[in-house]
Amino acid sequence: MSSTEQGLVAGVDSSTQSCKVELRRLSDGVVVASGSAPHPPASPPRSEQHPEDWWTALVAAFSQAVRAAGDQARHLRAVSVAAQCHGLVVLDAHDTVVRPAKLWNDTTSTPELLALRAQIGDAALVERTGSLPTAAFTLSKVAWLARHEPEAFARVRRMLLPHDYLTFRLTGRAVTDRSEASGTAYYDAAQGTYLLDHLRLVADRDWAPMLPEVLGPDDVAGEVLPAVLAELGLPGTVGPVRVGPGGGDQHATALGLGIVEGDVVYSFGTSGVVMALSPTPVRDPEGHVDGVADLTGGYLPLVSTLNAARTTDTFARLLGTTHDGLSDLALAADPASPGPVLAAYLDGERTPNRPDASGLLSGLTTATTREELARAAYEGVVFGLHAGQRHLERVGVPTGGRVLAVGGGARSRAYTQLLADVTQRPVLHPDAPESTARGAAVQAAAVALGEPVTVLRDRWAPATRPAAEPRAARDGAWRRYEATAAVTALDGLDGLDGTDGPGHR
C-alpha cells in the first residue's frame, strides 16, 4: 500500500461554540475518525474567550479522533486549522496570552470603530481593505485595548487571530493567511500588504514585528512540533506532519463545499450568509458586501445577516408549533395568495446595518392564515439573504451557477423551497455536513501532497442532491418585502451593531 493510500490529514474547525477535528484519507478524502470538544459560552456585547481554552479543546478533540482512528493515526501527514474570524489574540514578549480574546461578536469596541472610520474615511476603507468594517473587525479591538487597558496594551508584542494562535501552538511560527488577514481592516489583500498607517492611528508603535507573516494558499506554515504530537496522542508518526496556512471559517466552508466561480451559497444558521467566488478584488461602496479573500488565491465576497434560524425559532414559539410543524404550515400556504411579508430584523440587523431595528410584519388582514404567517417567517429570512445575492450581483460577482443551501436551517424543506421560489432556480444540498473541517482538510491534503489547493478542492468536491425545484415566482411578495424593509430605514434606524463580518458562528 502506497504512502498516499495509507496517509491521513486532519481538518480542524475551531468555532465560537466548539472544536471539531476530522481525520480523512489522503487518497480520497473519506472520513476515518472525528472528535469534538466544547468551548466556553460567550455572547455579546462583551464576548470573550481565553485562547488557552481553544487549545485545550483542540487537544481533546484531536486526541479523541486519534483514538478512534487507531493505528492509522500514525500515518498523519498534515493538519490545517480553520477558526472563527476577527478575534484578537495578544501575546507578550514570552508569547504568553496577555488577556482573553475579544471575539467577532464583541460589540464593545463600537465607539473606537466609529472614530477610526471618521479618521480613515469609509470610501478609503472599502477601497483599501475590500470591506466597510464593523466592530467585528480586528482593528477596532486593538483600539479598544489601547484605550481601555493601556497596561495590557503596553505588554503586547505579538497580535494573532484565532486560527493563527492555534497554528502558532502547533508549529511555533506566527503566520496567518489572506482570508483572515483581509478581515482585520489593516490588510490589503489585493496588494498583499499590511496597512500599518491604520494601526498607527491607534498608537505610535513599531507594528510590523507584531504581525504574523501572511502565507499564500499553497504555502506550508511549518511542521507540528514533536512535543505537540505527543500532546495530541501521536508520540510517533511515520514522518513529519506538515501544517497548512489555515483560514477563516466561512472561507474554509467554501473550500469544503468545492464551490467554483458562479456558484452561490446560502447558509442558514442562527445568522445567515450568502457568498460566492470572484477571481478579482470586490469593492462595494455601499458597504453591504465584504470583499474578503478566499483560501485559493481569489476572493470570497459575502453578505452576512443577523437574523436567520432564530427568526423561525421565534415564529414556531409564537404559533405554538415545532420546527417541523412550522415548515409544514409554510409549505401548505397557497403560493398564489399574497399573504403578509416580514422584514426579519427581530434583534436588529447588520445587512442592512440597523442595530436598533425590530421586525416589521406588513400586509396583515382578517383573512391572514397561520400558514401565511409561517411562510412570512421563512420568506423574511430568505428574502433578506436574497437581497444579499443582489448586492453581490450589483458589484459584479458572478452568481449564475449552482444554488447551494447549507447550515442547520437548510434541513427545513420550507427554507429550500422558498429559496427555489425566489431565485427561480433549483436548490441543491451538498453532501458535506462538516464543511468547515472538510475545507481545512482539503488544505491539509494540498500541503501534504505539494499540489495546488484548487486541485484538491475539485478532487474532493462533495456530491450534491436536489433539495427543491422552483414553483411559481413570488415577485409580488418580493416587491412588497423590499418596500417593507425600506420602511425601517425611515425611522432613523441606520447605525452600527458591530457584529458584521465573515466569521459569525
Active site residue ranges: 249
Residue type, 353: N
HEC states along 424-449? CCCEEEECCCCHHHHHHHHHHHHHHH
Question: Are 415 and 378 contacting, i.e. CB atoms less than 8 angstroms apart?
Answer: yes
Residue type, 487: V
Radius of gyration of the chain (CA): 22
Question: Are 229 and 241 contacting, i.e. CB atoms less than 8 angstroms apart?
Answer: yes
Q: In whole angstroms, give the CA distance from residue 356 to residue 353.
A: 9
Return the closest-CA partner of residue 167 out of 54, 32, 300.
54
Residue type, 124: A
Q: Which residue has the cell 496588494?
A: 191
Strand partners, 275: 265, 302
* Coil, helix or strand at residue 144: helix
Question: Are 482 and 476 contacting, i.e. CB atoms less than 8 angstroms apart?
Answer: no
Q: In whole angstroms, give the CA distance from residue 196 to residue 187.
A: 8
DSSP 61: H
**Is 93 exposed, middle or buried (CB count within 10 Å of its CB: 0-12, 13-18, 19+)?**
exposed
What is the CA angle 412-292-379, rounded to 5?
25
Taking residue 150's Cβ as centre, other Cβ atoms within 10 Å add up to 10
